[in-house]
Structure 1
């Protein structure tokens, strides 16, 4: 990976307190949105200059979906209490493991893993709120239905894949890069096709000696 390209990706992560990258949109691992509404909007009349301008189109509200049941997924997820929270690498690994761990016996979509990660305390307040909100904005797709038929859960493997372009840590900000491989594993012995994603994580803390928390994640498949 070229250093300049890596810097650009990490710069995206830094500024990703905005919208799509932060909410993990466009990544099937953390945002199962393959069935989302794509119906066409009604065309609006063109302003004529001689009469009232047309009223703006009313936005179509996103579907509000139920969350999965409370409980621990197969194998559980890491707890902040079990990790050295002064170690940004350890915190990022554990938080991304939790973010990648789903269980169709509990969850209604992949985004329930985000809700669980937020509830476990791995994230900044802002990022936790965005993960919880994302749970209600994604319709499960056909792939999820296949996993659910096998009562599948995620088997997660992380490998640290840093490069020379990563910015140095400051007292309050750190960046880590991981390659995440997730394999859906059915309780009936079925195994799905593994998915591999590169995750660029930004971690922040309020000051030296305070615990690190996940603030943004940018994903590349």
Structure 2
């Protein structure tokens, strides 16, 4: 009896060990980029999953000296990533992509093109014609996109690359008609005393909250002698 119990215990342990090995997540190569910044913020990849299970990844590259925004989806049948396709390409710079999926299994993307923020939507077949969201002439770059509990699309972006080191602020805009039109941007972060005591706001990230609110995190850099970096969070609903 003891031998049978020992044998059964050993068998169960082997089955458990095998199941743990099978359950381990596998790494998979999504795509290729010849830009050394492709794994960091300038051209860093963004990924999201739609309710129907579709997984999309978007990133930037400098293939053939063109700054391009590439995207791909995961093929569940073959358990591999589909060949990357171009969303936007050409000069000048196209980088800092951001991505989010909605309840209708559409994907929404933003990126910076020559320091202007652009938006496009993928409906499962093709991407819409990119439109410029930004309504000012400041040098915008880093950005983030999210969809709130009301289905509204929100975009935040920073103007961290201003040559005067003064108007380095953080803006937020939203669309209530699925990306067709956009609100005038509101200012979240601004210089304390422009030209005297300045601070730079950059690297924003958005998260959706309840009741149509969004949460924004961003980095603030004091441009005085100390040059300190600090992290801030702010909740916003279009009014406060």
- Whose radius of gyration is greater, 1 or 2? 2
Q: Whose relative contact order is higher, 1 or 2, with alpha carbons under 8 Å and at least 6 apart?
A: 1
Higher helix share: 1
TM-score by length of 1: 0.29
TM-score by length of 2: 0.28
Higher strand share: 2
